[in-house]
């Protein structure tokens, strides 16, 4: 296995982040992108942010877009779920990193000529 795949940077700390890092490595290299050892830092940040996004979305799904919390003087207040704000802040970072690793449709077109994904254009969706 690749030294890059097996040696994530220190920012990748949980099993879930490590698994996402390895999956991302496979996706990126299968897409024809040549990885250099120092690229693992950006790939690690992408993995960590994607895992965070999953947790934030789950929290929003479980708790709802609005939360009822205790306010001043014993009253209850409905406020926006703070996970929404955090999610909105990290989404542009994730999209930018995905573009750098040729994981977005507009960046892949520069890398691979022909149909998107390098196939015949039939994804088999109509057979599901």
Scanning 3-115, the segments in alpha helix (DSSP H) are: 3-6, 15-30, 40-63, 82-100, 105-111
- Domain residues for the domain of 43 are 3-114
Of 42, 41, 53, 51, give the one whose Cα is nearest residue 20: 51
66 by DSSP, 3-state: which?
strand
Of 50, 49, 78, give the one whose Cα is nearest residue 64: 78
User: Is 32 a member of any domain?
Assistant: yes
User: Is 47 a member of any domain?
Assistant: yes
User: Is 109 a member of any domain?
Assistant: yes
User: Is 127 a member of any domain?
Assistant: no
* pTM of the complete model: 0.78
Q: pLDDT tens digits, the chain, 128 residues: what are they?
A: 589 999 999 999 999 999 999 999 999 999 889 999 999 999 999 999 999 999 999 999 999 999 888 888 888 989 999 999 999 999 999 999 999 999 988 887 654 554 444 455 565 666 65
How many domains is the chain built from? 1
User: Is 11 a member of any domain?
Assistant: yes
Cα separation, 51 vs 19, in Å, equals 10
> In this structure, is the dihedral angle defined by the CA atoms of residues 35, 37, 42 and 45, taken in order, positive or negative?
positive
Cα separation, 71 vs 77, in Å, equals 6
pLDDT per residue over 47-81, tens digit each?
999 999 999 999 999 999 998 888 888 889 899 99
């Amino acid at each position: 296995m690749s030294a890059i795949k097996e040696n994530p940077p220190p920012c990748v700390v949980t099993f879930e982040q490590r698994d996402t890092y390895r999956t991302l490595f496979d996706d990126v290299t299968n897409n024809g992108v040549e990885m250099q050892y120092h690229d693992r830092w950006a790939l690690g940040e992408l993995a960590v942010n994607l895992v965070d996004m999953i947790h934030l979305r789950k929290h929003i799904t479980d708790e709802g877009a609005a939360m009822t919390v205790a306010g001043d003087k014993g009253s209850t207040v409905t406020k926006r779920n703070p996970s929404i704000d955090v999610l909105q802040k990290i989404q542009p970072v994730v999209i930018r990193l995905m573009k750098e690793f040729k994981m977005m449709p507009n960046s892949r077109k520069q890398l691979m000529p022909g149909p998107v994904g390098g196939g015949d254009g039939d994804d088999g969706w109509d057979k599901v």
